[in-house]
């Protein structure tokens, strides 16, 4: 249960950061259409899943050694 709660919290943070980076990169590249922005958002949503998994496992590994 602890893993699920931490994973959901970390996913919310990771997805926001990765979507923001993606959209900022797209806009900085001069692609101001809806399609490139939506692709960047979708990429952020998908990439946040493995990033969340790795970060959560590392956090729990470090805190459980206490």
Ramachandran bin of 27, using left for φ above 0, alpha for ψ from -120 to 50, beta for the remaining angles: alpha
Q: Looking at residue 32, what DSSP letter applies?
A: -
Please give the pLDDT value at position 64.
79
Distance CA(42)–CA(28), nearest Å, equals: 18
Walk along the chain (66 residues) and give the pLDDT tens digit of each residue: 888 999 999 999 999 999 999 999 999 999 999 999 999 999 999 999 999 999 999 998 988 765
Please give the pLDDT value at position 3.
87
Taking only the tens place, the pLDDT of each residue in 12-30 is 999 999 999 999 999 999 9
Model-level pTM? 0.86
């Amino acid at each position: 249960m602890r893993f699920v709660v931490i994973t959901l919290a970390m996913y919310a943070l990771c997805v926001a950061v990765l979507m923001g980076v993606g959209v900022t990169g797209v806009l900085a590249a001069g692609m101001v259409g809806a399609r490139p922005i939506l692709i960047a958002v979708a990429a952020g949503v998908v990439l946040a899943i493995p990033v969340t998994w790795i970060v959560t496992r590392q956090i729990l590994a470090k805190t459980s050694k206490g």
